[in-house]
Amino acid sequence: QSDLTKDITTSVLLVNNKAHMVTLDYTVQVPAEEAGASPELSKFRLSYYPHQLEAFTALLKAAFQGKCQHSVLGDFQPYTPGQAHTPCYFIHVVKKT
């Protein structure tokens, strides 16, 4: 967690009792540029669609007509499904071939 983070609020939208959208509202403190000035607060929102890896990989391959390389990072490290450590954050990397 950053020293600038003041608050993170997580909301989960359920549709038919299943997670449909995850929203994170961040509040961060932006340091003042001038000495003696008060820091400012900045707010932003990130929304995520929860998905299963196999289904999302198939969706990507269909979107690129199979002409892509897909890899996943977990907590910014290469991720292998079933590995011992469960990451908190995932990034999908797609390279068109």
pLDDT value of position 2: 62
Block residue for tokens 């990451």: 87
The percentage of residues in the chain with a pLDDT greater than 90, rounded to a whole number, is 40
Residue type, 73: L
- Do 28 and 69 belong together in one domain? no
* Contact status, residue 93 vs residue 73, Cβ threshold 8 Å: yes
- Do 29 and 61 belong together in one domain? no
Question: How many domains is the chain partitioned into structurally?
Answer: 2
Q: What is the mean pLDDT of residues 24-48?
A: 84
Report the mean per-residue pLDDT for the chain: 87
- Do 97 and 60 belong together in one domain? yes
- Residues spanned by the domain of 37: 1-50
Asked whether the predicted pLDDT for residue 1 surpasses 60, the reply is no
Asked whether the predicted pLDDT for residue 93 surpasses 70, the reply is yes
- Do 65 and 83 belong together in one domain? yes
- Do 37 and 71 belong together in one domain? no
- Do 75 and 88 belong together in one domain? yes
pLDDT value of position 70: 92
